[in-house]
Structures are given as C-alpha cells and as structure tokens.
Structure 1
Amino acid sequence: MRKVIMVALVATAAMWTVPVAAQSAIEPRVDKLEREMRAVQRKVFPGGAGQTLEPQITAPPVETAVPGVPAGGALTDLTARVSALEASVRSVTGQVEQANFRVRQLEEAFNAYKAATDTRLKALEGAGVAVASTPDALPGQVAASGDTAPPPRAPTVRPTRSAPSEIDADLPRAGTSGARATEVAAVARPDTGDPAEDGYTYGYRLWEAKLYPEAQAALKSVAERYPKHRRASYAQNLLGRAYLDEGKPSLASLAFYDSYKKFPDGARAPDSLYYLAQSLVRLKKPAADVCKVYGELTEVYGDKLTATMKVDVEKGRAAQKCG
C-alpha cells in the first residue's frame, strides 16, 4: 500500500512538470488522480485527518510560473512575429509588382525605339539606292574628314562621237550651271586610239583648267582601269594633286599613299611621296610623321630625285626640323 501511495505522489509531482502548453489536456487526468488518491487514503486510514503518511523522498522544489502567463507571452511574441512577416511579404510583393511594371514599360519603350529605328534605316537605305542610281553621283569617290563633296554639275556638252569611251562613262555629270558645262566642253579630248593615254591627257587638261571634280573622275578611271599602263602612276599622282589643289588634303594623302604602294616602280612614285609629306603638313600632322615620309623618299628614291626635288626635300626637312 505504501508503494501505491508513493507512485501516486510521484505521479502527482510529475504532473507539475508538464509544459504549460499541454496543461489543459493534463488537468482532467490530475483531477482523476487526486480523487483516486483520496479514495486510497480513506481506505488505508479510516480515522481521517492526521494519519496520512508523508513521503520519505521528496522532489526538490522548483519554481513554476503561474499557469497561463508563459503561454500568453509566447502567443504575444508569435503574433507579433507573424504580423511582421505578413508586413514584409506585403512589402516584397509591392516591390515585385513595381519592378514588373517598370520592366513592361522598358520593353514597350524598346520596342517603340526599335520600330522607329528600323523605319529610319529603311528610309535611309531607300534614299541611298535612289542617290546611287542618279547620274549626279560621283562614281568611286568617298568623302574624307574635313573634305566636302563637290556640288552637282550640269550635263557635260561633248562633241559628237561615234562611240563614248570608258573614261566618259566615269566622268561626273554636271549640274544646271551652263557656265560650268561650257568650261568642260571647252577642254579638248584627245583621240589617239590609246584609251589610257587619252584618259590621262584629258584628265591633265581638266586639272589645268581647274575643273577638279571632272579631272579627279577621269584620272581615277585611268588608274583603276589600266593599272599596268605606264600612265597609271601619272594618273594616280595627278589625282592626289587635284585633291590637294581643291583643298582636300585628306583625300590627297590617301591618293598619294596609294600611288606609292600600288605603283612603287612608277615614274611618279617619288613625286607621290613628296606630295604625301605636303598633304600631312596641310593636315597639321606631327612633324615626326612628315619626317618619316621624307626619310622614306630619300632612302628609296634618293638616286632618282631630280635636283629641283632634292632642294624641295631639304627645304621641307628644315621646315619640320627633321634630324
């Protein structure tokens, strides 16, 4: 019987160590145990009070919180944390919606820009085809930095001939200026049966008459159509001179450089290097670049230079303070 009492007491003591969260479920069991304990005591000690036995082994006293207080504090903390999480979720959701809206705006703006750009490019391509197909375009000419393309010229009046030459096909068409057409028509055209020779001579005469755009077209045609002809070097060099005299040193420097590279053994290769240096001076390039050209000229063609050119080269080197 004593063992039964001890078991009941231990069970009662263990009851108080149950977590507060499960207290509501344990209370009916505790009440049942207490009723059973009182029934056992009445059975063992019929005399009543004062004869109950105290347990010899007791559990150490533990501090227990008032029922409901920890549960209430934990619930409050949990509620606050859940509220904070809900607020964070709402904030993140709002930011995501704003980001999606901005992305849509960017996509719409990009699509509009792309459509506008495509339209402009197609318009420019159409305009380029139209310009290339008109007879006013200068064939084979590319505008360089600092240079401007010559204005359209009036149709050139030519003497009646049985068949137009290849050089005529490359000449630029003149604009509506009657005076210009008269000037071009006044330049005599040779007809020796050698198209390269005739083309160079005609280009030279146009250059002498200061009809630079027409001279450039004729000379470029000779250099490109007849690169093996002895006049190719002459034509390429004079093409650079025409650009330089027209005030286009950028195009002139390219023409002179091509003359030296394409026709290094040509009769006008030394002249092209000399005038290349002059073009660089007009372009205000560094003196070191000009001196390199003079050095190349004297090193490659020193024994082929005329006395006049040697004097001009020395003057140019002195002006640039070449060592």
Structure 2
Amino acid sequence: MTSPLRTFTSSSLSFRLAGALLAATTLATVPLAPALAQDSAAEARIRKIEAEIRALQRKVFPGGDGRFFEPQIAPGNESAASPANVSPPATTAVTDILVRLDALELQLQTLTARSEEQANALSQLDARLTLIETAANAPLVAGTAGDVPKIQPSATLPVAAPARAAAAPAPAPAPAPTPAAAAPVAAPAVAAPSPTRLAAVQAITKPQTADAGDDEYSYGFRLWNAGFFPEARQQLTKFVEQYPNHARISFGRNLLGRAFLDDNMPEEAARWFLRNYQANKNADRAPDSLLYLGASMIAMKDTKRACIALAEFAETYPLIASGRLATEYQTNRAKVKCS
C-alpha cells in the first residue's frame, strides 16, 4: 500500500517539472515576438528606401524602354513597390532624340556620298582647267615671240646662213608669209617611228567634248607637252587649217611655233611666231609670239633681228614685259648685246 506522503511527493514533483517546462517554453517564445516585429519594420523601411531610389532613378533616367530604370513609386504614393504600378510612356524625349539621330546619320551618309561624287567631278574639271591653263601659259616656259611691225622683213627670215643675214643690211619690207606657204613647212611627219614611240603616242588620249576645235588644239598641246614635237606639229597644223576662226587660234599658231623651236628648228618657228603676231597684235598669244620671235633669232644667231624683236616687245607690251613674261624677257635680253 502506497503511503500518502509518497504519493504527494510524486505529484508535487511532477507538477514542478511541468511548471519548469512551461516556464522554459515561455522564456523561449517571449523574445521572438519583439524580434519578428523589428524584422518586419526593417524590411518595410528597406522596401520604402528601394522604392524611393527607383523613383529617383526614374527622374534622373527617364525612358519608356528597357534600357532605363522604371520607377517603383509615383509622386504622392510612396508606398508603391512594384514597377508594374507605373505604366511607361509610349514615347519619350530620349527615344525621339534617338530616332532623330538615326535620321541625321542617314542624311549625313547621303550628303557624304554626294560630296564625294561632287569632289570627283570637281577633280576632273580641275584637271581639265589645269590642262587649258597650262596650254595658255605654255609660252611662259621658254618665252614667246610674235609680230614685229618694224620687222616686216622677217618674212624672209629663213634666208640661208645666219652669218650672212647678220652682215647684210636690213632687207626691204616684204609681206608676211601666206598660210599656204607656211603650212607645208609646219607638217613634217616622223619617218618610221618605233613601236615604242607609237605606243607612247597612242597612250595620249584625245579629248572628246562638245567643242571639236578645242579638242584638236588640246590634243596637240598634250603631244607637245609630252615631247612628241613632230606629232604635235602635225596635229596643231590640222587645228590651224580646219579652225582658223576658233577662239584658240592664237594659242594654236603660237604653240605650233613652239613645237618647231623646241625641236631645234628656229627658222620654221620664226615663220609661225611672226604670222601669229601679225594676224592680231591684241590676240591672247601675240605678245608671247613676239618674244619667241626674238628667241628664234637668238637661236639663229641673228643678233640684229633679235634685238629688234625684243625692243618691239618691250615697247608694245610694257606691262607684260614687266609682269607675266618678265622672266622670259630678261633671260632672252641677257643672251644678246643690243646697242
């Protein structure tokens, strides 16, 4: 039989153990509630801060596409946390600028292509103008000659030996050589040219423009400029005969004289220089032809006629003698001693 004291003691012990467990459980759960409350408050603050940062990013980086940050809150509704609450605009200033930049790039590409085409056309035009100007200034390379009113006897310049011509008295005035007399002398052809020379001549292209006369002259100039003097004489003679009234006739006759003079044929050159000068003293290359006439006389060692031609050049064209052809004039003047 169990004693009442033992039964009470066991019951008391069980009660105490249950109380201890209940107290432990209570103590374990009591701090958890404040901790959970603190965690919820911190999480809410963090979410609010994130939403405000996204709102700030929306102000700094506006845009309706995925390249920019989307706002998480709207003005007056700071508690909004989802970007889905704010609908992006259909278009923005940035997207409009990007579209306009694309259009500007396309226009710039078009303008660049057009400018390159125009630059190419201008380059070709400049090359043609350079060729024309070179032809116009060709006499500047070696001087120019022309008509000498006081040298009317120069029509007989091709008289035999230069020494005899220098010793003889001034011949009586005579008419200038006629084109028929000068033309045959101006068109000697090169005998049996080598294949290499033929290929080089054929490599020089003839211009093809609306002005056929200018094309003939320009082709003759190209031949002369390349050093093919016989071919140049043949071509320039063709130009002079077929286009006697062309705007470049003065250039053609003068250059034809140059083609003779540069090929060491001063007598034939003098014929063309004199003819060009006498044809029109106000023509474009009349001063050049007169100066080159003096150069031809110097080459023929006819000092007297050279001095007459140079003096006539300085008297008739003082501005050109001291300007455009000053160097050529002084060079030729230094080669002879005139009284």
User: Shorter-chain TM-score category?
Assistant: 0.3 to 0.5
Higher relative contact order (CA 8 A, sep 6+): 2
TM-score (norm 2): 0.43
